A and B are shown apart, each in its own frame.
Chain A
Amino acid sequence: MSVNLSNKTILVIEDNAVMRRSMRDMLYTLGAQTIYEAENGIAAIDSMTKHQFDIVLCDFVLGSGKNGQQILEEAKFKNLITYDTIFIIVSAHQSADFVLSSIENKPDEYIAKPFNPQQLIRRLEKSYQRKKFLSPIEKEIVNGNYARAIHHCDKSIEKGNKAFHSQLLKLRAELAIKVADFQKAGTIYQEILQQRELAWARLGTGIIAFFQGQYELSIGIFEDLLVQNPMLMECYDWLTKSYEAVGLHEKAKDTLNQATKISPQSLSRQKKLAILAEKTGHLGEAEKAYLATAQLSEYSVHKTPSDFFGLAKIYSKKNLKMEALKTLEDMRQQFTGNPEADLRAATLETEIYQEIGNDKLSRQSFQKVKRLKKRLKGKTPIDLQLEIAKTYYLKEDPESADKIISELIHSHIDDDNFIDDIRQMHSDIGQNNHSEVLIQQTKQELIHINNQGVGLYKKGEFKQALSFFEKAIEEMPNNKTIILNMAKIRLHELKENGITQETLLQTHHYIKRAEQVGIAVDKLGSLKIEFEKLTRTLPE
């Protein structure tokens, strides 16, 4: 197979003019006719907005602005490229794939400088072959249609193409995990491991253990793997999650620390490290990780005010009040006109000014908090809501504070980590156990509601169960357990009573809600599959 480049629209992104010219000339000699060039990230994004590219060749290091990885991220985020686009990252580092691995947005290929036309055309040919096999599956995954993705994947495996066999099996196992079919995933991994000890398959068995709540087992698997494979970045992430799940936050933090030493470029990992370091009281490490986060996110689409806020909080805790205020001012500059940034700044300023004895400025900031809070309403992130509650306590309005806290506990009672954060906040302001009564009450209430609802459902009284949970949702609109049960009952109803426009929409609504409130894919996956199967006939 030979790729015909004459009908392809190609973008070359490279800051070095000599290299850019050489890449362009190379593409011309390979038969390309339509080539665009960009020398930096801004020009690249601009060009991708105007044209639909078939192939993007992008240098990783591009001077001071966005790097190649960030361009890919942004292009995907803004839907400027599709799964049919071939995106190749060009790098002087042989090991770019290592350094960057575990980043969600992987390019189709990496190619190391220097390379010649034959090498480039081979990469393109291989990418096109792989797309032919995998893009029908990937397309369904992107759209959330796991049943169809699995269907395509099984068909492709049946065809028995040896060249993609390993990749297809890996994908198939990952899909099985997504829909909580752990048995299938486990069988695939075990069969592979019988042939050869492959890190990705071993990692898979650990991930299954994790999702089945066997944390000791998963921790053992991940730790062993890292001894043999210190560069397996994904493994650090899973080990961190496992430690967190059993409450070993210190160990979780150390694991991430190790990972960021090897691969300091991952934004999500630095962010997570900052949060864990703060939680475990290592303010110095938290500061370092937040600074790294701010630096890495400078040109990223995923830059958020919460990172600046986190850094400012650390400075404030370290009693570096001026640094904290400066960071908040920085945040305002970086996010002009962003109400969340303004609200975050005002909230922390209320606290800081009070602490340094400037009551006037503190009061002014607090007025801002009240005003901005109304503007943001439901869009206020929960960590910020908690901070706002704290300022209400500081400003001696415990009733308003308690009201916020009560709502937070109601909607997040099944999120142990966040409930811990609430406890921590109360102990920070010298009100140990203030929230405990409410937490326990709400827990009981939830268990009670849930038992009653599930009881009705089991007795076959669907209508009553439905209206019961509907009321519960009014009370606790973001409660995961209730939403998940609601989705299950709706789905059951669909199966029992047949599909009507109304029931279909309702079921779809609750599955969507379940996704929005962050119910893990392993709990939701099987539901989604069932829903898909009920509502669509699969293509043969």
Chain B
Amino acid sequence: MPDMPINFPTLVASSIHDIKNSLSTVRELISQITANQQNSSSPEFTQLELETVKMNNHLIQLLELYKIDSDKFNLMIDEYSALDILQEIEAQHAPTLQLNNINLTIKCSDDLYCYCDYRHICNALSNIVNNALRYTNTQICISAYKEKQYIVFCVEDDGQGYLEQILSGNSIQTVSPVNTPNNTGLGIHFVATIASLHTAKDDKGFITTDNNSSLGGARFCLFLP
């Protein structure tokens, strides 16, 4: 594209794209190498898999945030089955769950429907599940139910729970990227942004984080109007 004016954010965005493509090939090669190894379930491979997934998710989030920032973004809202969304997330994480012997359960009625942007909500929740995968011991539960005018999606685990500075308590989560060790808060910032873009009349989507999981660990909730 010769006469396209290039600014820094655009340059960064297109570089992220390239990195993402390379990463995709790297992941492919890793999985082929893993398949040829006898001790393929060794912790190094698991770690490798988790790290590349994390990198990929970060890149996707950065790209989406770039688009939101530069008005190249809007949600494609339609009515979708909540169960279908949860199953999509389960499918996305199936290999990692299996590799790490983590049990994922889905709790959702099959006649629960919600208005949302399917792709973005799947991406957002997927990020949270990814996070849960890092901190859980053996269990993750993803669920959806109706509460007042909201459809609520929850991700719970049986790990140590969220750190104090990430907890939203009873109020809406407002975390913006912060510098805590090992965590820039990008994931939560991203999900909160996507949630808030879901609106209906006077209501707006939001997220909450607490340690009230029935499994004993962290609980993340996404409220969609």
A114 cross-chain contacts in B, Cβ below 8 A = 24, 27-28, 56
B20 lies within 8 A of chain A by Cβ = yes
B146 CB to closest chain A CB (Å) equals 15
Does A22 contact B73, Cβ atoms closer than 8 Å? no
The reply to whether B113 and A162 contact each other, CB–CB distance below 8 Å, is yes
Which residues of the partner chain B approach A199 to less than 8 Å between Cβ atoms? 76-77
Contacts of B32 in A (CB 8 A): 18, 21-22
Q: Does A42 contact B (CB under 8 A)?
A: no
Q: Kindly supply a per-residue 1/0 record for chain B positions 46-86, scoring 1 wherever the CB is within 8 Å of any chain A CB and 0 otherwise.
A: 00000000001000100110010001111011110100100
Does any Cβ of A come within 8 Å of B150's Cβ? no
User: Does B111 contact A198, Cβ atoms closer than 8 Å?
Assistant: no
Q: Which A residue's beta carbon lies closest to that of B59?
A: A94
Q: How many of chain A's residues touch chain B, expressed as a range? A: 20 to 34
* Residues on A with beta carbons closer than 8 Å to the beta carbon of B63: 94
Whether B163 is near chain A, meaning CB under 8 Å from some CB there, is no
Q: How far is the CA of A164 from the CA of B84 in the complex (A)?
A: 12
| Distance (whole angstroms) from the CB of A336 to the closest CB of chain B | 30
Decide yes or no whether B9 CB sits under 8 A from chain A. no
Contact status of A18 and B28, CB under 8 A, knowing A122-B91, A198-B78, A200-B78: yes
Interface membership of A232, Cβ < 8 A: yes
CA distance A254 to B119 in the complex (A): 30
* Whole-angstrom distance between the Cβ of A130 and the nearest chain B Cβ: 12
The answer to whether B94 has its CB under 8 Å from any CB of chain A is yes
Contact A163 B115 (CB under 8 A): no
Chain A stretch 191-247: residues in CB contact (< 8 A) with chain B: 196-200, 228-232
A116 touches B94 (CB 8 A): yes
Q: Complex: how many Å from CA A228 to CA B74?
A: 7
Q: Which residues B104-139 have CB closer than 8 A to chain A? A: 111, 113, 115, 119, 123
Is the CB–CB distance between A19 and B28 below 8 Å?
Answer: yes
B residues less than 8 Å from A16 (CB atoms): 25
Q: Does A119 contact B (CB under 8 A)?
A: yes
B residues with a Cβ closer than 8 A to A are 17, 20-21, 24-25, 27-29, 31-32, 56, 60, 63-64, 67, 71-74, 76-79, 81, 84, 87-88, 90-92, 94-95, 111, 113, 115, 119, 123, 200
Q: Can you offer 11 A-B residue contacts whose CB atoms are under 8 A?
A: A18-B25, A22-B31, A116-B92, A118-B90, A162-B81, A198-B78, A199-B77, A228-B74, A230-B73, A230-B74, A232-B74
Known: A98-B76, A118-B90, A262-B72. 7 other contacts (CB 8 A): A18-B28, A92-B17, A92-B20, A116-B92, A118-B94, A119-B88, A162-B81
Chain A residues with a Cβ under 8 A of chain B: 16, 18-19, 21-22, 92-95, 97-98, 113-114, 116-119, 121-122, 162-163, 165-166, 196-200, 228-232, 262
Q: Which 7 A-B pairs have the closest CB atoms?
A: A118-B91, A118-B94, A229-B74, A119-B91, A166-B79, A231-B74, A122-B91
